[in-house]
Each structure stands twice: as structure tokens, then as C-alpha cells.
Amino acid sequence: MILIEILYFILCTAVISVLANMVMLPISAIWLLLLIPLFLAVQFMPLFPIAARKIRTFKLRNTAAGSMLLKIFLLSTSIAIAFNIPAMMGKLEDSMDIPPITDEPLWWTFAIILIIGIESIVFWNGIIRVYVTGKQMSLLFRVTCAVCGLIPIVNLVLLGMLIRIADKEVKFENDKIILNEKRADQKICACKYPILLVHGVFFRDSNYFNYWGRVPEELEKNGAQVHYGNQQSAASVDSCGQELAERIKSLCEKYHCEKVNIIAHSKGGLDCRMAIAKYGAGPYVASLTTINTPHRGCEFADYLLSKIGENYQEKVASIYESTLRKMGDPNPSFLDAVNDLTSSACERLNEEMPYPDGIFCQSFGSKLNGATSGQFPLNFSTLLVGHFDGPNDGLVGEKSFAWGQEYQFITVKGKRGVSHGDVIDLNRENIDGYDVREFYVQLVSKLRIRGF
């Protein structure tokens, strides 16, 4: 099959190359009538039909088709350059009756315009398909490609990177679809109790966009029943804990379930601990999993609050709270939320929130491997946080993550690492070495095996 696909690619490239250079080739009108339909066929069907059918979704097929068209463009353009440069210099005049450019400038002008026109159709067909359907190109990369598209050599490097990103996305996403199809009947995430996803500070779970990225959909595909904490995005741990306790009790009553399995990110982990310790949520919780939660706070937060004047703090708080009200928070308190994330505040909170009896508790943490990795601004802040908290995920230090009966540290090889936002799929990015969706599928699957 791979050999047939390669031959099909060569055939498509040959059609484009011959049509683009037909002025210089001895092509009869009959051949021209054949080449034009073939050219149109390549534009609509650049993938070998059997190979295209193996790609499960329309979007992925278009991304793959766009990448293939760009490969055809690169090869056919290279052929055109390799053929035309010696022809323009008169090197092919004797063998192919092609006059040098000095003899027939108008003839050559038409030939070049034809090449540019044909290759442009192939290029723009490919680039539009990839830009519209591809999801793994960052906005910065898209803008860089647009700005640098006319710079020689640089544009070729960027085009090669774009093709690589598109091909990786198609393979990764298609393999994931096939994996879910194979295990669909197993329902490996169908736990005894529903899953409650609890967000961190300054976000809401599902207002405007899903805080948890592609994770909830992946869990539901594998049998999980997913709900959201929906507590205020910026309030004290105590206030959010009370709100979550009421939410947990109402969910159990509404869906006639005895308990819930909580998966909480960042400050959400502290909020859930408060709900259990102070507001009576304990009997309704089967398990609590915290993801990158600052159980011992952030020393960097202590430093910032000590250096920033109260007037400036109030101004920043006012701006944030105005925005948060528009996102659905009825009574946000920016400073209460930030202060509860300091190491000094967490020391006090840990005394108020002892380890709960009868609840399985586990925690996870991750780190960025370097300041040049990850998405802005966490790739920038990792250096600042690291000065106070050591290895970190861009916000929380490694020493603050561990809590509960089990703890697992998430890391990957290379420069990338896994940030505070990556662990919840905030940027919907596929990271080499860390499949965020499969991480949660396996996490919930293990809860199911434990009987939760």
C-alpha cells in the first residue's frame, strides 16, 4: 500500500509538472485535453483514495490532503526550477528546440507566468486546507508563516515545518479515533460514581470555552459521566469550598448517586479539601485527585504581594473582578484568591484541612523543562517561579504538588516539559511524550478498577 501511495504521489506531481511546463514540451492538443481534467482531479483528490478512506474524519482528510498538495508543490516547483534555469540559459536549445531567454523574452514571460499560475493554484489549495482544518499550528506560527512567506529559504523552512505539523496531527488524531473505536464496548471510564471536574483560579469550567479542553469529551467517549464544579473563579478557598460542598450534595441528589469522584486542578484542589474538611462534603466523595495543586502554596506569590503596593493591588483586582463578573462570577474577590495561594496562607489552610478519612486521595504534578518551552506566559514565568520554588510548571513548584496516598510526577524528555495549563489541555496542544487526553482516560480507568 505504501508503494502504491508513493506512485500515486509521483503521478500527481508529474501531472502538475508537465502542465506547468507545457509551453516548453512537445505536447499535442489531445494531451492537453487529458492533462486539464487530471490537474483538476489532483486538486480535489491529492490522496490515494484507499489511503484517504482510512482517515476517519472529513477535517483530518482535508488536513492530510493539504499537506500532500504542499509536498506536490515543493517537488513540482523544484523540477520546474531545475528544468527552466538551464533552458533559460540556452543549454537545452539544441536538444529540445527551446530558445534562450535573450532570443524570445515574450515567449519566456508567458512560460514563467504559466508555471507561477499552476504552482500557485496547487500551493493555495494546500495551504488553505491546512490553515482551515489543522488545529495544531499555533497563532504565532501562522502569523510567522504569513509574514515570512516571501523570504527565500526561510519560507521553505517554514513550509517544511508546517507539513510536519500537519502530518503529525493527522496521524496522532486518527490513531486516537481508531483506539477509541476499538475499546468503545469496554467503557473503561464508566466508574461507579460520576466524575466532577473542578477548575482552578481565574477560570470557569465551561463558560465561553471548556477549561478542560478535549478531556471531557474523551472521558465521555470511554463511558464516563462528567460534571463540573462551577464554583467562582476568584474567591477565597473557604468561600469556594462552601460553594463546592453545596454543588456536590446537589449533584448526588439530582443524579441519585451516593458519591462523586473529584478531579481538581490547581486551586480547585484546595477548594475541594475545604469542602470536605469544613462543609460536610466528605460522605459524598469517593476519591479526590488533585492536579498541579499548590498544597504548600507558592513562595513566588508571597514575594509578589510583599513587593507590590496595596494601591496597585487594588487597581489590578478591580480590573480582574470586572472581567470575572462578565464571565459569570457573582461576587469575585481577586485578592482573597491570590492571598490563599501563598505559602504562608497554605500553611494555615493545611491545619484547617487535615487528611480526610475514608476517601482515596492522590495527586499529580508536572514541570516545564525550560523557559523556551511551552506556551506564553507560563514559559516566561517559569524562570521567576523557579528562583523561589525550584522546578515548576510555570506557576507552582514541584515541592508543593505531593499530597494524598499516591503521588505521580509528570515529565517528558527534551526541552518542552508540561506546564500548569498543559495538564488540563488548556491550549488543545498535542505534546510529544504526554498525551493529555489519554492521561485522564487512564486516570479514570484506574479509579474504576479500584471500585470508585
Cell for 232?
467562582
Work out the end-to-end distance of the chain between its first and last CA atoms, rounded to an integer number of angstroms.
45
* pLDDT at residue number 330: 81
Q: How far apart are CA 398 and CA 407, in angstroms?
A: 11
Per-domain boundaries in the chain: 2-180, 187-449
Instruction: Single out the residue of 289, 311, 290, 313 nearest to residue 301, CA to CA.
Output: 313
Q: How far apart are CA 276 and CA 360, in angstroms?
A: 12
Residues 6+ apart with CB under 8 A from 306: none
- Cβ distance 128 to 145 under 8 Å? no
Q: How far apart are CA 4 and CA 54, in angstroms?
A: 15
Cell for 402?
505531593
Burial tier of 402 (Cβ tally within 10 Å: 0-12, 13-18, 19+): middle
Looking at the DSSP assignment, which residues form a beta bridge with residue 289? Answer: 263, 362
* pLDDT at residue number 246: 96
* pLDDT at residue number 100: 59
* pLDDT at residue number 113: 87
Instruction: Single out the residue of 255, 203, 257 nearest to residue 230, CA to CA.
Output: 203
Series of mean pLDDT values for 10-residue runs along the chain (452 residues): 86 87 70 83 91 92 96 92 68 56 67 88 96 92 88 90 96 96 95 96 75 95 94 90 96 94 96 96 97 90 69 75 77 83 90 94 92 67 76 88 94 87 92 95 97 95
* pLDDT at residue number 183: 95
Instruction: Single out the residue of 73, 62, 59 nearest to residue 9, CA to CA.
Output: 73
183-204: b (≥16 Cβ within 10 Å) or e = eeeeebbebebbbbbbbbbbbb
Instruction: Single out the residue of 163, 141, 175, 199 nearest to residue 425, CA to CA.
Output: 199
- Cβ distance 361 to 287 under 8 Å? yes
**Mind listing the pLDDT tens digit for each residue in 418-427?**
999 999 998 8
**Mind listing the pLDDT tens digit for each residue in 269-300?**
999 999 999 999 999 999 999 999 999 988 87
Residues 6+ apart with CB under 8 A from 265: 197, 198, 199, 200, 211, 290, 291, 292, 293, 423, 424
**Signed CA dihedral, 284, 288, 291, 296: sign only:** positive
Instruction: Single out the residue of 235, 232, 264, 295 nearest to residue 424, CA to CA.
Output: 264
Span 187-449 CATH architecture = 3-Layer(aba) Sandwich (3.40)
* pLDDT at residue number 296: 93
* pLDDT at residue number 265: 96
Give the C-alpha distances (Å, rounded to integers) separating 300 from 264, 345, 388, 416.
22, 13, 6, 22
Instruction: Single out the residue of 80, 46, 38, 42 nearest to residue 63, CA to CA.
Output: 46
